[in-house]
Structure 1
Amino acid sequence: MIELTLAEIAEAVDGRLVVGSSGATSATVVRGISQTDSREVAPGQIFFARRGEETDGHRFAGSAVDAGAALLVVEQEADDRVPQIVVAESTIALGRLATEVVRRVRAGGELTIVGITGSNGKTTTKNLVAAMAERRGASVASEKSFNNEVGGPLTMLRVDAGTRTLVAEMGASAEGEIARLTAMAPPAIGVVLTVGLAHAGEFGGIETTFRTKSEMVRDLPNDAVAVLNRDDPYVTRMAELTAARVRWFGQHPEAEVRASGIDSDASGTRFTLHIGDASRPVVFRVLGEHHVTNALAAAAVGSELGLTLEQIVEALEGATRAARWRMEVMGGRDGITVVNDAYNASPDSMAAGLRTLAQIARPGARTVAVLGAMSELGEYSIEEHRRIGLQAVRLGISELVVVGQEARNLHISAINEGSWDGESVFFEEQDAAFDHLVRTLQPNDTVLVKSSNAAGLRLLGDRLGEAFA
């Protein structure tokens, strides 16, 4: 973070400065980044004490001070050993400070902000864009899936005077949230990947999802760029909603950044990347044909950032996985391949994972799909889990292992479709599923582990990867 005095921070967050017994003054400078978890605080950092549904960060203010926090942002006075700024709401204050820091860096330097949203693929695309941004100078990118009202500002606050690119993943669980993030860090390049049923239970339907995701491009000025997926009909509609120049990516013939000759197997995906009239072959080691869409989006951004086609291809070929627990290839003993893709799951990504499983299996070898629940689908949950069960059978997946009561409809659907002779099995608990798999997996099997993060199957995927390492 850039250097700011306590007085400047208090003004930015609309708070009241209390120096307490610290000996500090309003002119004291703070330069450490911000944290909302007292366990992650390092010396010199700012601790924002937030009230959550399960706990209250004010309870841990003392621990943050013990860890070396230089400043507390609180809703009520806490530990007076360090300066405190008292605000009405800590989460809002966090966003206000991020807004001010980004404003100052943009005014004083050459900061380019890239915002990325979509129902699927945000983190993968963010990681690919970050790898490209590093080639043009110092960059900051969202860590993990820091893309909400807390994670977004924490990422933004890491920029300083030398940062040339901020790559910000921007997610939402309700209308207005992406607009708030883009107001904090106005993108010069706004990317929309897909509009699907992820979080449909919270959004209330596909049209609400469309409106929410379109917030990424609605307020872009005419000197900005909207990078849009020409293959997604909902994203295509967003071209009518933005004043920005539109850059299309996808496999559609109208896409300026597109792919041809796509071929996938267990080692990754090969395709030819076209940017305008130029083209180059790409060996993309991120597993799954559906990730080509993310690669194309990243390539479009890389081109807008001024990278050459050779630099873009080099960055794509340097990626070995989408991210932790996202199409992560594990195992190897007896030719058994475990693909752990259980960090997130929506109907679209679940379907894509099953198609990938069917595509990458060795000829004549078995495919095993270990599936858990897809969260946050609301009224669509039963229908979408049933649809995935049907798809698993129709793709000819050799065995379906369904884990967790919330995913049971998936198992029932597979049985009703015709998977009745042990091809689909159901387990309430992960331990039972693990024991079954260790006992029954055969040489050369390919196993996909897929669920939403809340279902926790990523841990089962790790156990299987270790068991067959």
Structure 2
Amino acid sequence: MIPMSLAQIASAVDGKLSENADPEAVVTGDVEFDSRKAGPGGLFLAIPGEKADGHDFAAKACAQGALAVIATRPVEAPAIYVDDAVAALTRLARHVAAASRARIIGVTGSNGKTSTKDLIGQLCARMGPTVATEGNFNNELGHPYTVCRVRPDTEYLVLELAARGIGHITELCETAPPTVGAVLNVGISHLDGFGDIETTARAKSELPRFLGEDDTAVLNADDPRVARMAGATRARTLTFGVDNPADVTAADLDPGDGRHRFTLRAPGGAAPVRLRLWGLHHVYNALAAAAVARHLGAPVEAIAEWLSEAGRKSERRMDVFTRPDGTVVIDDSYNANPASMASAVRTLGQLPTEGRRLAVLGLMADLEEQSEDCHRRLGEQARDAGVDEIIAIGEGTEPIIDGADGVTATHVPDQPAAIALLRNRLRPGDAVLVKGSRYRTWDVADHLRAKES
């Protein structure tokens, strides 16, 4: 964190120092809410959880070197007492962002936020000290937590902005105001929070709407709802895309084995890119990252080289590995919605293999009344992509079987049943995709990973 005394922090979070806290002590370490990570010069955030209460670990955190605890009830340690710990963290993050010289980049969209944030983070790290959201830690706790990791020498702060309703992205932007905002796409996801795709688009548009006239909005020219956001922002716009005219684009696109090659064309030149990441969707993620890096001043040739060297940073996202028996596994099990599912089965269909292509598919959650149609369409997409066999897991996935007419398709009640079926069906040299919303296919992926080469 940017060094601050306990007195300054107490003032920033509207808190009160305990009598045993030294107001002149300077916090130079990180703010942590996991006591196991608390360290010298840091600050511990005590949050009540479902299984444990951080207040019970306050003394332990300070014994490990934390200078004080942000707490909402008395603890046996130096403390800053507040009414709401997470709200206090947000206030502290606002102070850190205002004091920092880092250029703040915000990334949002229905799909690809985490992967694109990871790419932007890797590109920015080539240009200077960078802090980026870890994994998809993009909510009301993860967002200020990430901002507070900024240090005096941080030049770039890359933030993933997620929302489950109107106003959420604006709130995140107010905590750490971005000067560059990238909107990747608008798709069908989290309809339990948004209701329909137009409301989703309105929520995502909060990022470009927030930007000022000296800022830059990076927009997907191939997504009509995103492209229209150019008319809703005061910022300069920089577009990316494949099919429609754009400032940053991919020419001579070659799918290869699923790791695409293309010529990156951007203001200032063109250069070849060969991605290490699997799937067409990563071309769009790479173009968005390239647009951000180009705006920040990186040469086109350097951006192309960095993209070609960039790797996967977050778990369970298009993690392709080979088991000792030659079976290729695509673990994309972290989460799922209709667009990411379509991309995943298309990638499976492109994957070179001597055997069959199997897709183990879990429920796409939060689709409300569109769930049945979306799952049926997924079955059709898997069939059209050349998938040889489908295993659909759990309640609500039965329409996948209906849509996959002509393909060997089996519905099973749970993950143990899917694992048992795979033991009988999977043969050496096959390729298998595992994907579903959150935990719904994780056990299957872990079973396959246990035999990873």
Superposition TM-score, scaled by structure 2 size: 0.94
Q: In the alignment, what sits opposite 2:241?
A: 250
Identical-residue share of aligned pairs (%): 43
| Cα 1:447–1:2 shift into 2, 3 Å | same
- Decide whether the 8 Å contact of 2:323 with 2:451 is kept in 1: no
Q: Work out whether 1:392 is the aligned partner of 2:405.
A: no
Q: In the alignment, what sits opposite 1:427?
A: 412
User: Residues 318-357 of structure 1: matches in 2 within 5 Å?
Assistant: 318-321=309-312, 323-357=314-348
Instruction: Between 42-51 and 59-68, report the one with greater CA deviation.
Output: 59-68
Q: In the alignment, what sits opposite 2:12?
A: 12
Counterpart among 127, 138, 141 of residue 129 in structure 2: 138
User: 1:253, 1:402 → 2: CA distance?
Assistant: 36
User: 1:86, 1:383 → 2: CA distance?
Assistant: 51
User: 2:429, 2:66 → 1: CA distance?
Assistant: 52
Deviations 1:387-443 (A, max 9, x none): 2123223333100011223433423443xx344xxx111222323322322332234
- Decide whether the 8 Å contact of 1:336 with 1:468 is kept in 2: no
| Cα 1:113–1:331 shift into 2, 3 Å | same
User: Residues 175-324 of structure 1: matches in 2 within 5 Å?
Assistant: 175-266=166-257, 268-276=259-267, 278-321=269-312, 323-324=314-315
RMSD between aligned residues = 2.0
User: 1:88, CA displacement in angstroms?
Assistant: 1.7
Letter in 1 for 2:94: T
User: 1:211, 1:57 → 2: CA distance?
Assistant: 37
SS across alignment from 1:405: coil
| Cα 1:383–1:51 shift into 2, 3 Å | farther
Q: Work out whether 1:117 is the aligned partner of 2:112.
A: no
Letter in 1 for 2:367: L
Letter in 2 for 1:463: H
Deviations 1:87-137 (A, max 9, x none): 12111111110010111113xxxx211111111111111111111111221
Instruction: Between 9-18 and 37-46, report the one with greater CA deviation.
Output: 37-46
| Cα 1:378–1:45 shift into 2, 3 Å | farther
SS across alignment from 2:158: strand
Deviations 1:156-199 (A, max 9, x none): 11112111111111111222121111111111111110111121
- Decide whether the 8 Å contact of 2:120 with 2:289 is kept in 1: yes
Q: Which runs of 5 or more structure 1 residues have no equivalent in the other structure?
A: none
- Decide whether the 8 Å contact of 2:208 with 2:235 is kept in 1: yes
User: 1:12, 1:185 → 2: CA distance?
Assistant: 15
User: 1:452, 1:19 → 2: CA distance?
Assistant: 48
Counterpart among 94, 97, 102 of residue 92 in structure 2: 97
Letter in 2 for 1:301: V
User: 1:50, CA displacement in angstroms?
Assistant: 2.4
Q: In the alignment, what sits opposite 2:65?
A: 68
Deviations 1:228-268 (A, max 9, x none): 00011111111111100000001144201001222224361
User: 2:241, 2:83 → 1: CA distance?
Assistant: 45
- Decide whether the 8 Å contact of 1:371 with 1:403 is kept in 2: yes
User: 1:334, CA displacement in angstroms?
Assistant: 4.1
User: 1:468, CA displacement in angstroms?
Assistant: 5.4
- Decide whether the 8 Å contact of 1:265 with 1:361 is kept in 2: no
SS across alignment from 2:143: helix
Q: Which runs of 5 or more structure 2 residues have no equivalent in the other structure?
A: none
Deviations 1:65-88 (A, max 9, x none): 344332111122222x2x211112
Letter in 1 for 2:228: R
- Decide whether the 8 Å contact of 1:262 with 1:289 is kept in 2: no
Letter in 2 for 1:460: V
- Decide whether the 8 Å contact of 1:123 with 1:169 is kept in 2: yes
Q: In the alignment, what sits opposite 2:400?
A: 410
Q: In the alignment, what sits opposite 1:401?
A: 391
Q: In the alignment, what sits opposite 1:440?
A: 425
User: 1:378, CA displacement in angstroms?
Assistant: 2.8
Counterpart among 32, 39, 45 of residue 48 in structure 1: 45
Letter in 2 for 1:184: T
Superposition TM-score, scaled by structure 1 size: 0.91
